[in-house]
Amino acid sequence: MTTPALLFGYAVAVACWAPALLGRLTAGGISARLGLAAWLTAMASALAAAAVALQYLARAAVTGWSRLAEVVCRSVSGHACTATGYQGAAVEFALGAAAIVAGLAAAVLAWRYGRSVQRAQQQTRAHTDVARITGRRLPGNDDAVVLDAAQPVAYCLPSRPATIVVSSGALAVLDRGQLAAVLAHERAHLASRHHLLIAVTRGLTAAFPAVPLFARGAGQVARLAEMCADDAAARRSGRGTLVAALLTMATGAAVPAQALGASACAVTARLQRLVDDPGPARRVRYGLTLAIVTVLLALAPALVTGFAGR
Amino acid sequence: MRGFGDLEAVIMHRVWDHDVPVTVRELFDELARERAIAYTTVMTTMDNLHRKGWLARVKEGKAYRYTATASRDEYSARLMREALDSGGDTQAVLSHFVAQMDGEESEMLRAVVRRLAERRPQ
């Protein structure tokens, strides 16, 4: 019984404490790609550990049941109970109940996750259909459409065919180079399939709204995905052009009264990391730390299982 | 023109450009002047658009006359509402180039701009 207990303990520990550690390591967006990998690995690690623990529990409960049946049968028929490894009716019942409750909980969580992902997919699909019919082709860009709207807005739609939407308000304020930077940023999202990461992590947030790792994870993944796309755009168009594009789009945008609180995809943090180069020493230090944390998180469930199995 | 979906866009934009209801024949004549296209393709596409709720039609003699169920601006406005409503009902995965900002955030942003200006005095 120690293996599932240790695995579950590990999953809880990662779910509760990883956000603080990773939050600190990835706050500045140094090595955004490794930061993204670290967050995703932490989530996968916690889920894998919990799933293996659940499987152990289910197996323990099922083997107990056959013995329990045997015992009940023998006691009814008047013979003595001789089954080996049997831990007593109370323990076996408790184990069975725990396995059933855990299995049901997993089913509910999977359902919540699936519903969230499916809804997001349907809405994105519908939005893409309307955008592709309503928008005008952006000349010279087969994958981009222009929508008539005063606010400077640009976003990408991952549904097939992948489409980038740029508002006419954005075209009015961006110069040619800045527009190229915006398109490069959105194309980086599409090429790296960031929408899948965002859909999956949002689904996990919907499934585990009270678990810190998943509650914070989706926002962090979205933020780091923005920074990865920024890096791609900066490589293509230059940092200066990207910073100018970000400032133009951000300050030109009308700020609605009901705007998000502390926006997860904060523009300021993105600008700061583009403007303030951390230098090679800090970049290597952060990159190395993140790489080590990621590898440890990836190996931990197997290590815990092996350690407990001895 | 690439694929069927794009023909839907082309036809909707034509319908929007007309102020009066149009027939398949009228749109076909317009399009055939610019590209090689079959009458039945135009008809099928307009039928699909009607089925999907983009076009309304009334029978006139043997043919239908089509109008858009909503204007281009109405669709654009709807899309923008959806795109900007990131905290509300919309769950669509749209990766915005910049997120919407609150007052505090735009104040921080202005501070960054000031620092940039100080760094490059011109």
CB proximity A261 to B under 8 Å: yes
Give the list of residues 6+ apart from residue B76 with CB closer than 8 angstroms, or none: A134, A147, A148, A149
Residue A22 structure tokens: 């990773």
How far is CA A230 from each of CA A184, A241, A285, B50, rounded to the nearest angstrom?
9, 11, 21, 41
Containing H/E element for A116? helix A89-134
- Closest partner CB to B93 (pick from A124, A261, A264): A124
List the end-to-end C-alpha distance of chain B, in Å, as a whole number: 48
Residue A218 structure tokens: 């989706």
pLDDT digits (tens, 9 = 90+) for B56-110: 999 988 889 999 999 988 998 888 888 877 555 555 666 677 766 666 776 777 6
**Yes or no, beta carbons of A149 and B105 under 8 Å apart:** no
Question: What mean pLDDT, rounded, does chain B reach?
Answer: 81
The span from the CA of A143 to the CA of A156, in Å, is 10
What pLDDT was estimated at residue B5?
59
**Yes or no, beta carbons of A226 and B9 under 8 Å apart:** no
List the end-to-end C-alpha distance of chain A, in Å, as a whole number: 12
Decide: A92 and A68 in contact? Cβ < 8 Å: yes
**How close B62 gets to chain A, by Cα (Å)?**
28
How far is CA A210 from each of CA A26, A43, A287, rounded to the nearest angstrom?
22, 14, 30
CB proximity B99 to A under 8 Å: yes
pTM for the full predicted model: 0.79
What pLDDT was estimated at residue A258?
28
Residue A186 structure tokens: 């959105």
What pLDDT was estimated at residue A263?
34
Which chain B residues are closer than 8 Å to A255 by Cβ? Answer: 100-103, 106
With tokens 């979906």, the residue in question is B5
Give the list of residues 6+ apart from residue A277 with CB closer than 8 angstroms, or none: none
Reduced to 3 DSSP states, what percent helix, strand and coil does chain A have, rounded to the nearest 5?
75, 5, 20
Containing H/E element for A252? helix A239-252
Give the list of residues 6+ apart from residue A68 with CB closer than 8 angstroms, or none: A86, A89, A92, A93, A96
What pLDDT was estimated at residue A199?
85
Containing H/E element for A154? strand A154-157
Decide: A92 and A64 in contact? Cβ < 8 Å: yes
Pairing of strands A136-138, B95-96: unpaired
The span from the CA of A264 to the CA of A241, in Å, is 23
To test the contact with chain A by mutation, choose from B8, B51, B94 the residue with the greatest count of A C-beta atoms within 10 A, namely B94
Pairing of strands B55-60, A154-157: unpaired
Which chain B residues are closer than 8 Å to A229 by Cβ? Answer: 95
**How close B94 gets to chain A, by Cα (Å)?**
6
The closest alpha carbon to B94, from A160, A115, A123, belongs to A123
Q: Which residues share a beta bridge with A163?
A: A157
What pLDDT was estimated at residue A184?
95
Q: What is the mean pLDDT of each run of 10 residues along chain A (310 residues)?
A: 87 94 90 94 94 85 69 62 60 83 89 86 86 89 89 85 89 90 93 89 89 92 92 91 84 40 56 82 92 93 82
Scanning B44-63 for CB atoms below 8 A from A yields: 54
* Chain A residue at shortest CA distance from B113: A247
The span from the CA of A204 to the CA of A38, in Å, is 16
Give the list of residues 6+ apart from residue A226 with CB closer than 8 angstroms, or none: A265, A270, B95
**Yes or no, beta carbons of B99 and A229 under 8 Å apart:** no
* Chain B residue at shortest CA distance from A266: B99
What pLDDT was estimated at residue A255?
33
The span from the CA of A226 to the CA of A215, in Å, is 19
Residue A110 structure tokens: 């999977």
Residue A289 structure tokens: 């730390």
Decide: A202 and A116 in contact? Cβ < 8 Å: yes
The span from the CA of A266 to the CA of A299, in Å, is 32
Long-range pairs for A66-75: beta carbons < 8 A, 24 or more residues apart: A67/A92, A68/A92, A68/A93, A68/A96
Long-range pairs for A57-61: beta carbons < 8 A, 24 or more residues apart: A57/A4, A57/A95, A57/A98, A57/A99, A57/A102, A58/A99, A58/A102, A58/A103, A60/A1, A60/A4, A60/A95, A60/A99, A61/A92, A61/A95, A61/A96, A61/A98, A61/A99, A61/A100
